[in-house]
Amino acid sequence: MPAFQPKKAWPGAHIAIQGVSHRYRRASGNALSGIDLEIKPCEAVALVGRSGCGKSTLLHIIAGLVAPSMGEIRIDGARVEGASPRWVVMFQQPHLYPWMSVAQNVGLGLKFAGRPRAEIAARVGELLHLVELDGYAERNAQDLSGGQQQRVALARSLATCPEVLLLDEPFSALDAVTRRALQRDVRRIAEEMKITLVIVTHDIPEAVTMADRAVIMRSDPGRIAEIVPVAVDRSDADPERRAASIQAAQARLQAAFERATGPAAPDASLTPDSHNQETPRTEPLKIVAAGHR
């Protein structure tokens, strides 16, 4: 791991969501109602709920992309009033410039920030190493697989050392093996770079892999039903004990999900068992990322 550390006085950012409600223009009801939530610096929080319960709306409000009808977001005490390089959103699509090289895509934000060419080249190299794309710098972005493009977009998102990474179901278009590897990688990178993570997902295994806490939401209007600590010791060297604690966490989240939304599985294609197996890394890992603004 190269020494790639954000230059900050304190790690991560504190996020305060205070009395947030939202109603879209011409909508008959509220998409969100009375959301209060505090997220600690460097914490990883998953917003979990069925389609339409307002997860993306809340994420966009946190990112300053949508102004809430009521309430406010404060990041490190300052009211969010728009986009910022301090908080970066990753969407399902990588949104790369297809005619540019990988290095050019990753370094774009730094170029716009007026950083010297040598500094950009050095940092791009570090970032590509971080996302396990060493050797891809000069490749054309459009010649990469979808997953590799997503890794490029992640590197681009991390280039300006954001304090918050907001992910809106960024892995849902990927195959299961790639998805699992990426979930672990993004969590590792967030820990290493001391980034606060907010992950929107309807996938309970994903929430358990990535988050410290799961915020279970219900619909009509979108609101918080329950907050469940994930409580998995990821550093436990005993694989059986770790697998058991992952399974127990998934069961706790599933039960909370069903209390909030009814009994059907949130994502029938993903079983807890498939999630517990360590995934061999046989190919360069892939990322769904986007949205460095």
Interface contacts to ligand ADP, rule CB under 6 A: 24, 27, 31, 49, 51-57, 222
**Cβ atoms of 183 and 206 closer than 8 Å:** yes
Minimum distance between the CB of residue 224 and ligand ADP, rounded to whole angstroms? 13
Considering the complex, what minimum distance in angstroms separates the CB of residue 268 from ligand ADP?
Answer: 17
Between CA 7 and CA 70 the distance in angstroms is 34
Count Cβ atoms below 10 Å from residue 27 Cβ, excluding itself: 9
CB of 48 to ligand ADP, least distance (A): 10
Binds 105, which of Mg ion, ligand ADP, none (CB < 5 to 8 A, cut-off by type)?
none
Residue 160 is given by DSSP the state T
Among ligand ADP, Mg ion, none, residue 271 binds (CB under 5-8 Å by kind): none
Helix (H) or strand (E) holding 28: none
- Residue (56 or 250) nearer to Mg ion, CB: 56
Number of residues that bind Mg ion (CB under 5 A): 1
x/- map, 28-67, Mg ion, by CB under 5 A: ----------------------------x-----------
- Beta strands at 44-48 and 213-218: parallel, antiparallel or unpaired: parallel
Using the structure block, give the residue that is written with the tokens 């969100």: 32
Q: Does 209 contact Mg ion by CB under 5 A?
A: no
Most distant CA atoms of the chain, gap in Å = 56
Please, what is the minimum distance in Å from the beta carbon of residue 272 to ligand ADP?
22
Interacting partner of 64 out of Mg ion, ligand ADP, none (Cβ under 5 to 8 A depending on kind)? none
52 contact choice in ligand ADP, Mg ion, none (CB below 5 to 8 Å, kind-dependent):
ligand ADP
Q: How far apart are CA 164 and CA 14, in angstroms?
A: 9
Calpha distance 236→240 (Å, rounded): 9
Residue 126: CB minimum distance to ligand ADP, A: 33
Angle at 276 between CA 185 and CA 145, to 5 degrees: 40
Amino acid identity, position 200: V
Closest contact distance (angstroms) between CB of 7 and ligand ADP is: 34
- Find which of Mg ion, ligand ADP, none residue 30 binds, CB within 5 to 8 Å per kind: none
231's enclosing H/E stretch is none
Measured from the CB atom, the residue of 170 and 205 that comes closer to Mg ion is 170
Nearer to ligand ADP, 62 or 164 (CB): 62
Alpha helices in 161-270 (DSSP H): 176-193, 204-210, 239-261
CA 201 to chain centre: 9
Nearest to 214 by CA among 195, 225, 230: 230
Q: How far is the CB of 11 from Mg ion (least distance, A)?
A: 28
CA distance 84 to 106: 17
56 vs 149 by CB, closer to Mg ion = 56
Binding interface with Mg ion (CB under 5 A): 56
